[in-house]
Structure 1
Amino acid sequence: MKPDESLNVLGGTLTPCSFEPLTGFFRDGHCNTCTADRGSHTVCAVMTGEFLAFSKYVGNDLSTPHPEVGFAGLKPGDTWCLCAARFLQAHDEGCAPRAHLDATHVRALEVVPLTVLVDCAAD
């Protein structure tokens, strides 16, 4: 698998999202993606307690540690490459986390309108 070109939603070079915890489809700290990334893990988001509770409620528990796969669990303040559809779903439910636009891959725009990302911008 080779990542798509590393461009952000602003048209610039994709910046890192998080190395601690290590995130991204390729676990390279960036929200890089490719055709194999069916979840489009492209939105660099800052976790909140509200979003983590929502994500767990809809079936994707990001806060519980799973040491057997090297996942410590996320906590408020962590940044993470979220699935674009989950981000949009959270936005529609009123609990979207903030997004780092410079670290959000341009392919997120296939799912999330730029206006939504700008409204949720952390930068």
Structure 2
Amino acid sequence: MANAKNVYGKPLQLCCGNTGFTREGFCYVPDSDLGNHSVCVIVDQAFLTFSAQRGNDLMTPRPDLMFPGLSPGDRWCVCASRWLEAYKAGVAPKVNLSATNLRALDIIPLPILEVFTSEPA
């Protein structure tokens, strides 16, 4: 996955520590990742609550899965389909496009992601 690209076709940047499907800090999307955990987000309370209401509690630590639990302001690789679902519900979190995998574009149009970028123009 060292050659993974971000949404702009440049080298994928680190999202944060111990995140992503591979828990390497990058939003890699190996063939075994059927959820497409490609979007590097900066979670906020609205998104965390929304995700929990959809059956994916990202706030509760799960040591058995090497998952620390998230708080507002944390970065995490989320499924592109969940981010798009949150977008449609009006609760999409900010994204770090340098750390968002090109595979996110399989599901989310780039212009939509760009509206939610956390990076300066």
Show the counterpart of 1:121. 117
Q: Count matched residues.
A: 119
TM-score w.r.t. length of structure 2: 0.94
Show the counterpart of 1:74. 70
SS at match of 2:84: helix
SS at match of 2:48: helix
SS at match of 1:54: helix
The residue type paired with residue 7 of structure 1 is K
Residue 30 of structure 2, aligned match among 30, 34, 40 = 34
4+ runs deviating over 4 angstroms? none
Show the counterpart of 1:90. 86
Contact preservation (8 Å) 1:99, 1:120: yes
Q: Is 1:106 paired with 2:98?
A: no
Which ranges in structure 1 are unaligned for 5 or more consecutive residues?
none
Q: Deviations over 1:56-85 (max 9, x none)?
A: 001100001123333221000000000000
| Aligned Cα root-mean-square deviation (Å) | 1.2
SS at match of 1:41: coil
Moved more, 25-34 or 90-99: 25-34
Alpha-carbon distance in 2 for matches of 1:67, 1:40: 22
Show the counterpart of 2:43. 47
Alpha-carbon distance in 1 for matches of 2:89, 2:102: 23
